[in-house]
Structure 1
Amino acid sequence: MIADSLAAATERMTKAVEAAKDDFSTVRTGRANPQLFQRLLVDYYGTPTPLAQLASLQVPEARMIVITPYDKAALKDIEKAIVAAPNLGATPNNDGQIIRATMPELNEERRREYVKLVRAKAEDARVSIRNIRRKTKDELDALKTEVGDDDVARAEKELETITKKHIDQVDDALSRKEAELLEV
């Protein structure tokens, strides 16, 4: 029972870390990154569709991404979605076959804003991990009558170790992303 609770907590915390890393990848840096466009929704025949399902994405240069739609009729819709995307700032260039989206250089102020955004996302991930810890601790406390205080105390220490490990992983990912954002 204790092992099941700890295993479930570890799994949920790992998913929280992965979600944080995924969130970090959507924050743009000085380079073009296909993941910036992965969550971009395009109004395709009246249905919001992720861009990744409508086109292939390549990065031929550091600040340019080439979008090749599978259906040429979607070119204008993709272009509209790129222009309307908040925090992207890409300038799409449509030549009738493909779209070349150029990413502007980031100035110092914009970099600082992105660092704040990434820190907020990291804090959300930490809060999520702590909530998992709290819920698991409550589950362990409920088991005290069945397994005994010593086993629960050991499990709580192990839970704290697991929690610290996952929070450290979020902090490591945050420091890497901050370094990437502040790199000129």
Structure 2
Amino acid sequence: MFDTKPYEDKMAQALDHFQDELKKVRTGRAHAGMLDGVMVEVYGARMPLNQVANVTAPEAQMLLVTPFDPSNITAIAAAIRDNQSLGFNPSDDGRVVRVPVPALTEERRKQLVKQVSEKSEEARIAMRTIRQDALKDAKRMKDTKELGEDDFKRVEKEVDSLMSDIQKRIEELFKTKEKDVLTI
């Protein structure tokens, strides 16, 4: 009997990865997840920002980073400033780091939509690869007579059904994020 569960899990992981990638795309409004990829050099090691500070978004155009240890404040501000993909210019007052989030220009919004589109295409490619692996394994089992013709067709339908459900979900997420980015 062919088990589609491992492939369902792989598809779910790929969908989760896609959702995480979408969170990294800026929409013009500040949210704490924008600084998730920032690594800070503290105590002689590189650590994720969320392990050395608390990140909040008190208003739509501002992030507030409160370090757990105030002696790390300059390292945190430098790490945020040095991350070129973010394009932020933080300022610190000795206790907290304020990160103003600039409003997006129309051109930048279009670039972000293109970036989101590329990420959704990468997710679709990952899904197709997982589908091909599942069908290849099912075909191999059919060729070695571990799986009958009817069972193979059932597996094929099951995988295709799962695939179309996840493709719809990817499209919904893309449309939602596109609307989010283009909303001023």
TM-score, normalised with respect to structure 1: 0.96
Tell whether the 8 Å contact from 1:55 to 1:67 is kept in structure 2 after alignment: yes
| Identity percentage of aligned residues | 34
Tell whether the 8 Å contact from 2:35 to 2:49 is kept in structure 1 after alignment: yes
What SS class does the counterpart of residue 8 from structure 1 fall into? helix
Partner amino acid, structure 1, of 2:52: L
1:43 aligns with 2:41: yes
Tell whether the 8 Å contact from 1:89 to 1:104 is kept in structure 2 after alignment: no
**What corresponds to 2:148 in structure 1?**
148
Partner amino acid, structure 2, of 1:74: N
From 110, 117, 127, the counterpart of 1:129 = 127
Tell whether the 8 Å contact from 1:68 to 1:97 is kept in structure 2 after alignment: yes
Tell whether the 8 Å contact from 1:59 to 1:65 is kept in structure 2 after alignment: yes
Consecutive unaligned residues in structure 2, runs of 5 or more:
none
Number of residue pairs matched by the alignment = 182
What SS class does the counterpart of residue 42 from structure 1 fall into? strand
**What corresponds to 1:170 in structure 2?**
170
What SS class does the counterpart of residue 20 from structure 2 fall into? helix
Query: After the TM superposition, which residues 74-93 of structure 1 pair with which residues of structure 2 at under 5 Å, given as runs?
Result: 74-93=72-91
**What corresponds to 1:105 in structure 2?**
103
What SS class does the counterpart of residue 95 from structure 2 fall into? coil
Distance 2:79 2:27 in 1: 20
**What corresponds to 2:60 in structure 1?**
62
1:179 aligns with 2:153: no
Consecutive unaligned residues in structure 1, runs of 5 or more:
none
TM-score, normalised with respect to structure 2: 0.96
Deviation at 1:89, TM superposition (A): 2.1
Deviation at 1:71, TM superposition (A): 1.0
Tell whether the 8 Å contact from 2:14 to 2:123 is kept in structure 1 after alignment: yes
What SS class does the counterpart of residue 49 from structure 1 fall into? strand
Tell whether the 8 Å contact from 2:27 to 2:181 is kept in structure 1 after alignment: yes
Distance 2:119 2:147 in 1: 38
Partner amino acid, structure 2, of 1:70: F
**What corresponds to 2:159 in structure 1?**
159
Deviation at 1:87, TM superposition (A): 2.6
Query: After the TM superposition, which residues 18-37 of structure 1 pair with which residues of structure 2 at under 5 Å, given as runs?
Result: 18-37=16-35
Q: Which has the larger helix fraction?
A: 1
Deviation at 1:86, TM superposition (A): 2.3
Q: Give the CA RMSD over aligned residues.
A: 1.0
